[in-house]
């Protein structure tokens, strides 16, 4: 494997006194799409928040692009190329589409010029709706906006937390296609947290299974494409 883009070792952390992550190891090469799958409440979003810098780890190391970013702020990580699309999307409902995208520009400052042409090529609806308030759009459109907001900062790694949640199956297919094309065109690596079988199987190159704050199994290319194999780790 080439030099990893992200290398996480022994990561522990959680909320106040409650430790959720019990020592997570994870490596992502440039351009890879890696899924973290697992049932509700196992710590997937906690892992994402700890990687963005929104939560401080109590132990472990996060190397990004060869540099230790364990104690960097969330802002510094975003400027360094870590894009985040939170679970539930969290677009600013009162701001317009265009204003939401402006927020994403901050992440790329000093590193890249915001490429609106590319964003609008992927998500033409965002151009048509640039003056619409984000909160008045459908779930699928808001998800596109959340992905676009991360893209505008030109990330090297996108942390994508359950993009399919609350979205109709036909739109889930669009999300998978868009993320795949983005990955191919820009080389952005993706860490995908998901519970939706179709999205996992159609998008990920490989995966990890999480249980109670630990990675308990690794799924290679053939396993992650097998509905039967993936389903085992999702159902109760």
CA 134 to chain centre: 20
Asked whether the CA dihedral 93, 52, 101, 195 is positive or negative, the reply is negative
Those residues whose C-beta lies under 8 Å from the C-beta of residue 148, and which sit 6 or more positions away, are 101, 104, 119, 122, 123, 126
Q: Report in angstroms how near the CB of residue 161 gets to Mg ion at its nearest.
A: 6
- Tell me the window of 3-11, 36-44, 114-122, 139-147 that interacts with Mg ion (CB under 5 A): 36-44
Binding flag, residue 45, Mg ion (CB under 5 A): yes
Binding flag, residue 41, ligand ATP (CB under 6 A): yes
Q: Which two tokens stand for residue 60?
A: 């472990």
Among residues 46 and 70, whose Cβ is nearest to Mg ion?
46
Binding flag, residue 143, Mg ion (CB under 5 A): no
Q: Report in angstroms how near the CB of residue 198 gets to Mg ion at its nearest.
A: 18
Binding flag, residue 44, ligand ATP (CB under 6 A): yes
Binding flag, residue 4, ligand ATP (CB under 6 A): no
Task: Give the per-residue contact string, 68-107, with Mg ion (x = CB under 5 A; - = no).
Answer: -------------------x--------------------
Cβ-proximal residue to Mg ion, closest one: 45
Strands of the 157-161 sheet, one edge to the other: 82-85, 157-161, 189-194, 33-37, 206-211, 214-219
Q: Which two tokens stand for residue 83?
A: 């894009």
Among residues 4 and 43, whose Cβ is nearest to ligand ATP?
43
- Tell me the window of 24-32, 38-46, 182-190, 197-205 that interacts with ligand ATP (CB under 6 A): 38-46
CA–CA separation, 233 vs 120, rounded Å? 36
Q: Phi and psi (nearest 5°) for 175?
A: -60, -45
Q: Report in angstroms how near the CB of residue 179 gets to ligand ATP at its nearest.
A: 19
Among residues 40 and 170, whose Cβ is nearest to ligand ATP?
40
Out of 22, 87, 96, 186, the only residue in the binding site for ligand ATP (CB under 6 A) is 87
Beta strands 33-37 and 67-68: pairing type? unpaired
Those residues whose C-beta lies under 8 Å from the C-beta of residue 140, and which sit 6 or more positions away, are 167, 168, 171, 174, 175
Binding flag, residue 52, Mg ion (CB under 5 A): no
- Smallest Cα–Cα separation from 37: which of 226, 220, 209, 205? 209
The residue ranges that bind ligand ATP (CB under 6 A) are: 15, 18, 20, 38, 40-46, 87
């Amino acid at each position: 494997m080439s030099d990893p883009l992200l290398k996480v070792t022994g990561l522990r952390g959680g909320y106040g006194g409650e430790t959720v992550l019990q020592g997570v190891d994870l490596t992502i090469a440039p351009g890879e799409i890696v899924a973290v799958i697992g049932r509700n409440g196992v710590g997937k979003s906690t892992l994402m928040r700890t990687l963005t810098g929104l939560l401080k780890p109590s132990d472990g190391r996060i190397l990004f692009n060869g540099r230790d970013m364990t104690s960097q702020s969330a802002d510094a990580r975003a400027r360094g190329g870590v894009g985040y699309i939170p679970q539930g999307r969290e677009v600013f409902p009162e701001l317009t589409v265009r204003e939401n995208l402006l927020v994403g520009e901050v992440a790329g400052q000093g590193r890249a010029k915001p490429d609106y042409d590319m964003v609008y090529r992927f998500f033409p609806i965002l151009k048509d709706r640039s003056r619409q308030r984000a909160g008045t759009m459908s779930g699928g459109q808001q998800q596109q906006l959340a992905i676009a907001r991360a893209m505008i900062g030109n990330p090297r790694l996108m942390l994508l937390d359950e993009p399919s949640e609350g979205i109709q199956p036909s739109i889930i297919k669009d999300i998978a296609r868009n993320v795949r094309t983005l990955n191919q065109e820009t080389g952005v690596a993706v860490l995908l947290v998901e519970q939706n079988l179709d999205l996992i199987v159609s998008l990920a190159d490989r995966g990890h299974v999480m249980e109670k704050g630990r990675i308990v199994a690794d799924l290679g290319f053939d396993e992650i494409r097998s509905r039967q194999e993936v389903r085992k780790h999702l159902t109760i």
